Structure 1
Amino acid sequence: MTLATALKTGDLTQLPSRRDEDWRWTDLRGLIRALPPASPAVDGDVAAGPFEGLATGEILFVNGRKRHAATGAGEVVALRFVSASDGTAHAAAYAIVVEPDTTLVLLESHEGRADAYMSDVTIDIAVGEGARVERIIMVDDHAEAINIVTTEVDLAPGATFHQTVLTAGARRQRIETRINHPGAHAQVRLDGVYVLAGQRHADQTTVVTHGGADGVTNQLTKGVVADQARGVFQGRIVVQPGADQTDARMGHHALILSDRAEVDAKPELLIFADDVSCAHGNTIGALDDEAIFYARQRGIPEAEARAMLTEAFLGEVVERIEHEGARAVAAAWVARKLGRSA
């Protein structure tokens, strides 16, 4: 059951609901009472994306339809999904094959240029033996949008896959990543940042399945929720029988800045092998009052002090982005979302 299936068939019973354990905090069936019309084709130029000037090639989808705005070969590719029509629905799918012993930086953006749209994006990524991929995903949806992004990643032995998600949420939003990890000295880093205000909702769900020995997974997600926003983190690491000597670490940490905001977190380790090193941590709290008092004593207004501390809290994830230009864009994005100048 997926949003894409519902959009294709018109059958609302195909929507996931809170009865589905993995969707209990991101109920679509209880929210969507009628499906909107299909999004129309959009001609003409599209404004620059958030990673403008950093990529050597660009692949552009507008309202689910693929357009090549400025394609080119190279190690840094911008993959853009633009929603450009109010009150309509669309789906898109794309597959990426990374050849063995090559490098790819994927600068992916989901850009809401309209109001109250529905979008479903499916991405498949195959990473060849010894290849290296860094994927930075920036999701800027409209406050009334519904957006589901689902990615399946297949890793070959010795491959490296690093990912960072940055999102400000939507009416309903879910960014889901599933990774088939072969072990065999392959390495995975899965990071995320969410900055939510108003009544926005963001769900970051990940599943990493270790199928062989000698694999590494490192995961860090941090979020901030204010007003009546809701953040959801679901992280599952599965260590299959025979996946000995797996090294897997997962951390999720969130700040709640309002009595009416909410964070739901479900970190899971399912281990069916011996001789592994696995751990997870989860914390949800508020800003340190002593740190705020300390800053105010030095003449920093309280609002600015709170923004500074929050930015530093999220900065740990941003600093793990390896691509220098994308890291600078991510830092500026966080600063803007927190009401600070870049």
Structure 2
Amino acid sequence: MSLAAALRERDVARLPSRRDEDWRWTDLRGLIRTLPPPAPAFDGDIGAGPFGGLGEAEFALVNGVARGDANLLILPAGAVRTVRLRLVAATAETAQAAGVKVRVGQGARLTLLESHEGLAEGYVYDVGLDVEIAEGGVLERLVIADDAAEAVRVVTATVVLAAGGVFSQTCLTGGARRQRLETRVTHPGAGARARMDGVYLLAGQRHADLTSAVVHAGVGGTTDQLTKGVVADQARGVFQGRIVVAEGADQTDARMGHHALILSDRAEVDAKPELEIYADDVACAHGNTVGALDEEALFYARQRGIPEPEARAMLTQAFIGEVVDRITDGAVREAARAWAAERLGGVHGL
């Protein structure tokens, strides 16, 4: 069951539902009664996107149609490149699907600035990313999901990591009517490293689901995961993280943390961090907290003359800043920080 299969076969019965354990908090079958028609070609202006002019080149899929050279995402051995990848829904009440292949050659380095953008309402968009990172290759993937409020989008990235490779990811999202950003990593151990971070900032009735699964199959690999969220009004945040350490994957170091702030009595956060360990001699841990802003810290700020709205914004920015600060590229980190600051204004209603 998947959105991709439902769109391919034009059959809503193929949509995942709450009966599917991994989809029980992001029910698509109960939401989508009929699939909208396929999106037409769109040749209009799509603007600059959330990453602006960062990077050396751009490849876009607009209503599923390519603009630019997809080979920009295929790096030969030793190459270094920064590419904007834009997946844009430009027509309301339509269905769209896109598939993207990313290859990072031996010793190559790709910074992927990936944005999911909605220029209209009511669309249904499925995106599949097929990623392979060769030995010693490095991929830093920065994702901004900037969907329309009434949209449905599912993004599934399947990552195969080779020995000594590095996969770093930061996903920032403001949600949609239903939105799911899913990442699945095959981890070989062998000195390879994965960092998988996320931030969700949700207001209104927006919904965001950050789901991930990492399978450690060999000796001596690391995974470090940190996700933080802020939800207000009637929004709903979902975090599902699973790290599996297979038999024989000794000396694995895997850590996962999820922390969320709820700013409204009607907002909701559902979290399911999981560790499955079938090996000895490992260092694995996970943590999960959901709560409100620290009233003592808020009182302390107000005692020093900071108005309450500003104090709340300051504390919330500091809360998510820990994730944004882990982005290694300075210019990209500033773009992510600016996007988050703009979103936080909407979350707080300041």
Do these two structures clear the TM 0.5 threshold for a shared fold by scoring above it? yes
- The answer to which of 243-252 and 42-51 deviates more is 42-51
Whether the 8 Å CA contact 1:168–1:202 is kept in 2: the answer is yes
Whether the 8 Å CA contact 1:57–1:71 is kept in 2: the answer is no
Residue 261 in 1 paired to residue 267 in 2?
yes
CA deviation map 1:196-231 (0-9, x unaligned): 000000000000000001000000000000000000
Deviation of 1:158 (Å): 0.3
Q: State the identity %.
A: 64
Q: Given residue 53 of structure 1, which amino acid in structure 2 is its aligned partner?
A: G
Whether the 8 Å CA contact 2:209–2:238 is kept in 1: the answer is yes
Deviation of 1:176 (Å): 0.1
Residue 311 in 1 paired to residue 320 in 2?
no
Deviation of 1:45 (Å): 3.1
Residue 213 in 1 paired to residue 219 in 2?
yes
State the Cα RMSD in Å.
1.3
Whether the 8 Å CA contact 1:152–1:179 is kept in 2: the answer is yes
Counterparts of 1:337 and 1:301 in 2: how far apart (Å)?
20
Counterparts of 1:83 and 1:309 in 2: how far apart (Å)?
34
Q: Given residue 41 of structure 1, which amino acid in structure 2 is its aligned partner?
A: A
TM-score under structure 2 length normalisation: 0.95
Whether the 8 Å CA contact 1:58–1:70 is kept in 2: the answer is no
Q: Pick from 291, 298, 301: which aligns with 1:295?
A: 301
Q: Which runs of 5+ in 2 are unaligned?
A: none
Residue 330 in 1 paired to residue 336 in 2?
yes
Whether the 8 Å CA contact 2:50–2:339 is kept in 1: the answer is no
Name the SS for the 1:205 alignment partner: strand
Q: Given residue 23 of structure 2, which amino acid in structure 1 is its aligned partner?
A: W
Deviation of 1:69 (Å): 7.7
Deviation of 1:70 (Å): 10
Residue equivalent to 1:25: 25
Q: Pick from 185, 196, 199: which aligns with 2:202?
A: 196
- The answer to which of 297-306 and 246-255 deviates more is 297-306
TM-score under structure 1 length normalisation: 0.97
Residue equivalent to 1:7: 7
Q: Given residue 88 of structure 1, which amino acid in structure 2 is its aligned partner?
A: T
Counterparts of 2:179 and 2:157 in 1: how far apart (Å)?
14
Q: Given residue 29 of structure 1, which amino acid in structure 2 is its aligned partner?
A: R
Runs of 4+ with >6 A deviation: 69-73
Name the SS for the 1:325 alignment partner: helix
Residue equivalent to 1:40: 40
Residue 68 in 1 paired to residue 74 in 2?
no
Whether the 8 Å CA contact 1:63–1:84 is kept in 2: the answer is yes
Q: Against the structure 1 CA distance between its residues 22 and 155, is the aligned structure 2 distance closer, same or farther, given a 3 Å change threshold?
A: same
> How many residues matched?
340
Residue equivalent to 1:123: 129
Deviation of 1:295 (Å): 1.4
Counterparts of 1:63 and 1:214 in 2: how far apart (Å)?
42
Residue 106 in 1 paired to residue 112 in 2?
yes
Q: Given residue 222 of structure 2, which amino acid in structure 1 is its aligned partner?
A: V
Counterparts of 1:279 and 1:142 in 2: how far apart (Å)?
36
CA deviation map 1:96-126 (0-9, x unaligned): 1100001110000001111111000000110
- The answer to which of 294-303 and 308-317 deviates more is 294-303
Name the SS for the 1:75 alignment partner: strand
Name the SS for the 2:345 alignment partner: coil
